[in-house]
Each structure stands twice: as structure tokens, then as C-alpha cells.
Amino acid sequence: MKDLKTDILVIGAGSGGLSVAAGASQMGADVVLLEGHKMGGDCLNFGCVPSKALIASAKAAYGQAHSAPLGIASVTPQIDYAAAKDHVHDVISQIEPMDSQERFEGFAVKVIREYGSFVSPTQVEAGDTRITARRIVIATGSSPLVPPMPGLDQVPFYTNEDIFELREKPEHLLIIGGGPIGMEMAQAHIRLGCKVTVIEGQKALGKDDPEAAAIVLDALRSEGVAIEENQMVAQIRGQAGAVEVVTENGQIYAGSHLLLAVGRKSNSDRLNLEAAGIETTRTGLKVDDALRTTNRKVYAIGDVAGGLQFTHVAGYHAGIIIRSALFGMPSKAKTAHIPWATYTDPELAQVGLTEAQARETHGDAVEIARFDYHHNDRAIAERKTTGFIKVMVVKGRPVGATIVGHQAGELINLWSLALANRLKMGQVAAMVSPYPTIGELNKRVAGAYFSPRLFENETVKRVVRFVQRWIP
């Protein structure tokens, strides 16, 4: 057994772990990075990157079949499902070098391609190496949740970890789970020529604003996706090419392939956390506001920390750790300004409080500013008029924003900035947007907040009349 000492030990080479390793090493710390599987973690290999690449292929196919409103004859796209998967893997290969072992070794990070397991509060074994570290960062991410559904162990199924390896186009894809992953994959596959049925035990997109979610679900249904809600799975049966999902109320859904998209579980089983004195919760490792575990020398970031499970959250957590572990500066993770997006068409994005949450928290103090896409000239020009933006405002400051529509994931950036810096609606309204852009929606919704104050205010009107009559 080789012994190794280091300042910072990072366990997991996903988005968060790589950010900590690169930042800490370049700032002068001695860093060891452990990764037992693929560099880049879930996002690069099985999640964000391949899913958005497949969505891009699906969007191209849909565009060919629906170009007539723009004066271009619609055609039936010639879809090559295997070639679309080649596109997915080419995208991954282009991004891979940024997350590669060689690149991080260039930062003077010692990379060990083994899983790590605690043997004491400050020591981790990885292969034939025992590492003693002053600070340890657990960034092991999460994996698809595979619940103990009756019959599942007898039937072939896919998760996001292997669906992108499938090269034979499914004739009829059954998706269990109506969350963001399920809905994104449903729309991508219907556009790539598959039949798709989504089976959801409760409400599809149930964690999002219901008014916004309804627009997305209506769009998917209009494209042919069957979305079966309030259908709890009782049994799965069948064989490769012929799968059946039986629900508790006796409904039977038959398809050729099965995709599970029912949630995620944190990756901590291999870590031997008891040896380090680290406690867990139902969703992940127990951490405080500074992302410290119950072992004060060990931090947890990203999905394994048990909070919001997004790649950009892991990156945000990495910055918290850099300030705390390297510089000893007090730094706490917050969630109010963390946005998320579902990359369906139309997209659905959220930051801060939804309307329901804002009313529950702030009561009558909440004002809702709203602007619809069909009043935006660029949206009209591109035939992308479905959707709206609404901002929840308390005492002149936004506390949340919901956007559903074209480029919602891009538009939400501004509202994350506003919440992170406690900007006022007046500061957003003062922004000048180039015309015509989709981004102008953000300025227009801020204007909608002020319109009643200006145009329906009798005091304002009296002042204007006085000035016009008496001021030369």
C-alpha cells in the first residue's frame, strides 16, 4: 500500500469535482483527484451533453416537417436514428478533452483512476494507495433511481446511463416518469419517429408552475406523445421488443422498449462513510450551509449533497468550497438564485419562488408581472408565440420568475442575476434590449410591472397635466 499526503482530496471527477480540483491546484494547493469511472461524470457522458445533442437532432427533424408556416415546403425527414446517436457521441468527444485526465494532470493534479473508500476521518484508500488529506471534497454525484418494481428484474430496460448507446430506433418507447428527463426524452423520440407513451404516477412536471407545465404538456401531446398521469406502476412484464407496464388501476401499456426516468439517488455506497463519521439523509449526505458534512474536514457538493440536482449547482458549490477550504473564508451556499430549465419545446425555466410559493410565503405583498410571447415581435417573426414570462415581485424586488416558451433557458439567466444581486425591477426596466430579440421579453415584463403605476395613477396624471399647462 502506497501512502500519499495532500492538501485537498477530491472524490469524483464530474462537474463539481473537476472545478474544485482545477481551481485549488491552480491556486497553489496540492490536489489529488479520484475517479473510478469516466472523467466528466454524468453530465458529459450520460446526462446534459448527450441529451441536448439528441434534442438538437430531433429539433432538426421536426423543423423539416413543420416549415410550411415560414413559406418553406414541409418535407418528411429521412431519420437515421443510429446517425443521430453518432452525432451525440461526436459532441461528447469534442467536449471530452476539457474534462480529460491529461488536462488536469497539466494543472498538476494527481489523478488516480480508482474508486475511493474512507478508512478513517482523514484517510481514503483508492486501489493500492492510501491518501491522507487536510480537506476532502466528496463530489460523487448521483445515478438513476431504479425502484423495486415487480417484474423489473426480468425485463430489459434503459436509464439515462445507457439510452444513448441504443442505436436501433425504438418502435414504441415506454417511459416511466414524467419529470424533466422523461419529458425531454419523450419529445426527442417522438420527433425521431418513435411512438412514445409516458407513464407518470402523479402529475407530469409536477414540481413546476402548473400553468407553465400545462403549456409544455399540451405541446407534447399535440406532437403525439401519450402522457398517462396518476398511473402508479404495479408490474412490469414481457421481454426484449415486447414490454408491458401494468398500473395499479389495471391499465396495460405495451411497447417495444422501456426507459426509467423516475428520479436520482446519490452515489455514496462505495465510500464507507461510517469510517469517516459522516451522516446521511434520505436524499444524500448531511451537510450544513457551508457544505460541510458531519466530519468537519469533509465537504460534499453537487448531487451527493442531497439538494438541487443540476450540473450548474455543482459548479456553484465548487466556488463555495474554494473560498472556504483554500482561503478559510466563511462562505455559505444559497438556493434562491439557482435556476433550472427543462429543454423541451417550448422550454420551461424557473428561478426562485413560483407564484404559488410566493403567495404562500409573502401573502398579499406579492405582485405578479406578466408578459406573453405573442406580444414579442421577434417571437412573431419566428412563429414562436406560445408561452409567457411572469415575475413574482415583493416590494419592488423579484423573488422568482417563471418562463415557458422559446429560449426560456436563456431568458432565465437575467432573473438569476437579479435574485443573486437583489436587483430591483426598476434596474431591469432600465436595461436597453436590442430590437427585435426574444430577450426583450425580460425588459417588457419589467415594464408591465410599472405600467399600472404610471398609466393608472391619478396623481401621475395630475402632475403631467400641471406641467403641460403651467411649465413653459
Asked whether residue 451 carries a pLDDT value surpassing 80, the answer given is: no
pLDDT tens, residue by residue, 182-207: 999 999 999 999 999 999 999 999 99
pLDDT at 453 over 90: no
Mean pLDDT, range 427-452, rounded to an integer: 94
Q: What are phi and psi of 81, to 5 degrees?
A: -60, -40
Q: How far apart are CA 220 and CA 175, in angstroms?
A: 14
So where are the chain's domains? 2-39+100-144+265-327, 152-262, 339-455
Q: Is the pLDDT of residue 449 over 80?
A: yes
Could you report the per-residue pLDDT of 87-122, keeping only the tens digit for each? 999 999 999 999 999 999 999 999 999 999 999 999
pLDDT digits (tens, 9 = 90+) for 227-238: 999 999 999 999
Give this prediction's pTM: 0.94
| For range 334-340, the mean pLDDT | 93
Under a CB-based contact definition with an 8 Å cutoff, are residues 379 and 426 in contact? no
Residue 460's pLDDT is 65
CATH number among 3.40.50.970, 3.50.50.60, 3.10.28.10, 3.40.50.720, domain 152-262 = 3.50.50.60
Look at the block and give the residue holding cell 422498449: 257
pLDDT over threshold 90, residue 243: yes
> How confident is residue 472, by pLDDT bands cut at 50, 70 and 90?
confident
The 10s digit of each residue's pLDDT in 310-333 is 999 999 999 999 988 888 778 888
Instruction: Lay out the sheet containing 172-176: strands in order across.
Output: 226-228, 195-199, 172-176, 257-260
> Would you place residue 85 in the very low, low, confident or very high pLDDT band (cuts 50, 70, 90)?
very high
Quote the CA–CA distance of 429 and 448 in Å, as a whole number. 9
Is the bond into 346 cis (omega within 30 degrees of 0)? yes
Give the model confidence (pLDDT) of 347-371 as tens digits. 999 999 999 999 999 999 999 999 9
Contacts of 448 (CB under 8 A, 6+ apart): 369, 370, 371
Residue 21: the pLDDT is 96
Q: Say if CB 372 and CB 402 are below 8 A apart.
A: no
Largest pairwise CA distance in the chain: 91
- Give the residue carrying C-alpha cell 500500500: 1
Residue 457 has pLDDT above 80, yes or no: no
For 269, residues 6+ apart whose C-beta sits below 8 A from its C-beta are: none
Instruction: Please spell the DSSP secondary structure of 276-331, one letter per residue.
Output: GT--B-SSSB---TT-B-SSTTEEE-GGGGTS---HHHHHHHHHHHIIIIIH----
Same fold, 2-39+100-144+265-327 and 152-262: yes
- pLDDT digits 0-9 by tens, 403-424: 999 999 999 999 999 999 999 9
Residue 252 pLDDT exceeds 90:
yes
Sequence-distant (≥ 6) Cβ neighbours of residue 219 within 8 angstroms: 344, 345, 346, 386
Q: Which helix (H) or strand (E) holds 423?
A: none
> What's the mean pLDDT when you consider all of the chain?
95
Would the pLDDT of 459 be above 80? Answer: no
- The average pLDDT across 34-50 equals 94
Tell me: pLDDT of 281 over 90.
yes
> Is the pLDDT reported for residue 456 higher than 70?
no
pLDDT at 454: 60
Per CATH, domain 2-39+100-144+265-327 is 3.50.50.60: yes
Angle between helices 210-222 and 180-191 (to 10 degrees): 20
pLDDT in tens, 128-168: 999 999 999 999 999 999 999 999 999 999 999 999 999 99
pLDDT, mean of residues 261-270: 95
Which CATH number does 339-455 carry? 3.30.390.30
Over the stretch 122-132, which tens digit does the pLDDT of each residue have?
999 999 999 99
